[in-house]
């Protein structure tokens, strides 16, 4: 099912997107870990003492700030953009442009192509988050040793990775299902944006809290992860979603007619 030469080719042709995403997320986590020392956070807390809402959310601890701002926003946005772009590019865009004919006229099966693509998007996301974890821990230990609970940071990174994998599962499925980039992006990108927006709106107003049930982003429960319990089932659901959607995509691609 896996073709190492094709994997090498995909890694080479998608390197730029991977590099930009990984670099941006690494720089961001590096800045957060180096700037938000206990002294800075006390200063910010004092400065905002009288304001009704703190724009930075819960910044009582470094890990709470990382969970809310970094994994709740930056990692999610960059991960989503990466999943939408690469998910679409791996399959639907190749069919739309016609270069899928080139790939399939080499001796590989459709399953080999899609399964190798699925492994590429999964392992590249894993690589991005592994880098984030290493940079985060490294910078924190260097600037403010002992302030970062490494175990919790690991769970948060893993949780964020699984959330982004679930999203990539959806974009990959859309990419396998449709023969046009526009349709694949409409479904994959559209759902992704909806999940993100629903999560944001749910947090803004009590009357919109029902939206929490409509988005998979809430399955990444950072409060539970920091408290250390009650997050495992949600993460399993995310991992399961990633697997099921990708498998559905691979199956759909095997059965359909290709306009090549």
Restricted to residues 84-103, the positions that interact with another protein (CB under 8 A) are 94, 97-99, 101-103
Can residue 2 be called a binding residue for another protein (CB under 8 A)?
no
Cβ neighbourhood burial of 81 (10 Å; 0-12, 13-18, 19+): middle
Nearer to another protein, 102 or 194 (CB): 102
Restricted to residues 129-188, the positions that interact with another protein (CB under 8 A) are none
Q: Which of 86, 163, 79, 160 is nearest to 119 (CA)?
A: 86
What does the alpha-carbon distance between residue 162 and residue 110 come to, in Å, rounded to a whole number?
26
What does the alpha-carbon distance between residue 171 and residue 259 come to, in Å, rounded to a whole number?
20
Can residue 105 be called a binding residue for another protein (CB under 8 A)?
yes
Q: Are 225 and 156 in contact (CB under 8 A)?
A: yes
Can residue 106 be called a binding residue for another protein (CB under 8 A)?
yes
Judged by CB under 8 A, the number of residues near another protein is 25
In angstroms, give the least distance from the CB of 76 to another protein.
Answer: 28
Can residue 104 be called a binding residue for another protein (CB under 8 A)?
yes
Q: What is the largest CA-CA distance in the chain?
A: 68
In angstroms, give the least distance from the CB of 119 to another protein.
Answer: 17
Can residue 126 be called a binding residue for another protein (CB under 8 A)?
no
Q: What angle do CA 142, 144, 147 make, to 5 degrees?
A: 125
Q: Are 32 and 66 in contact (CB under 8 A)?
A: yes
Piece of 70-78, 193-201, 204-212, 251-259 that binds another protein (CB under 8 A): 251-259
In angstroms, give the least distance from the CB of 48 to another protein.
Answer: 47
Restricted to residues 16-35, the positions that interact with another protein (CB under 8 A) are 16
Q: How far apart are the first and last CA of the chain?
A: 22
In angstroms, give the least distance from the CB of 258 to another protein.
Answer: 4
In angstroms, give the least distance from the CB of 248 to another protein.
Answer: 19
Six token digits for residue 82? 């990466």
Can residue 123 be called a binding residue for another protein (CB under 8 A)?
no
**CA dihedral for 124, 56, 42, 60, sign (positive or negative):** negative
Q: Which of 79, 83, 260 is nearest to 174 (CA)?
A: 83
In angstroms, give the least distance from the CB of 15 to another protein.
Answer: 9
Residues forming contacts to another protein in the complex (CB under 8 A) are: 3, 5-6, 9, 13, 16, 94, 97-99, 101-110, 112, 257-260
């Amino acid at each position: 099912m896996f073709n190492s030469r094709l994997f090498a080719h995909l890694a080479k042709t998608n390197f730029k997107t991977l590099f930009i995403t990984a670099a941006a997320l690494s720089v961001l986590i590096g800045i957060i870990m180096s700037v938000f020392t206990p002294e800075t956070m006390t200063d910010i807390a004092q400065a905002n003492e009288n304001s009704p809402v703190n724009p930075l959310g819960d910044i009582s601890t470094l890990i709470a700030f990382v969970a809310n701002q970094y994994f709740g926003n930056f990692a999610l946005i960059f991960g989503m953009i990466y999943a939408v772009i690469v998910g679409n590019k791996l399959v639907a865009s190749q069919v739309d442009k016609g270069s899928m004919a080139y790939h399939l006229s080499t001796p590989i099966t459709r399953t080999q192509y899609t399964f190798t693509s699925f492994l590429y998007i999964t392992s590249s996301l894993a690589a991005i988050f592994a880098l984030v974890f290493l940079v985060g821990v490294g910078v924190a230990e260097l600037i403010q040793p002992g302030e970062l609970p490494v175990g919790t940071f690991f769970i948060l990174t893993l949780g964020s990775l699984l959330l982004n994998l679930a999203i990539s599962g959806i974009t990959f499925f859309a990419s396998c299902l449709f023969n046009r980039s526009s349709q694949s992006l409409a479904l994959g990108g559209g759902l992704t944006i909806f999940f993100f927006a629903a999560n944001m709106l749910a947090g803004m107003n009590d009357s919109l809290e029902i939206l929490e049930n409509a988005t998979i982003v809430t399955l990444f429960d950072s409060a539970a992860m920091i408290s250390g319990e009650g997050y495992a089932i949600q993460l399993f659901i995310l991992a399961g979603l990633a697997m099921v959607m990708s498998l559905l995509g691979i199956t759909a691609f095997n059965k359909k007619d290709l306009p090549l």
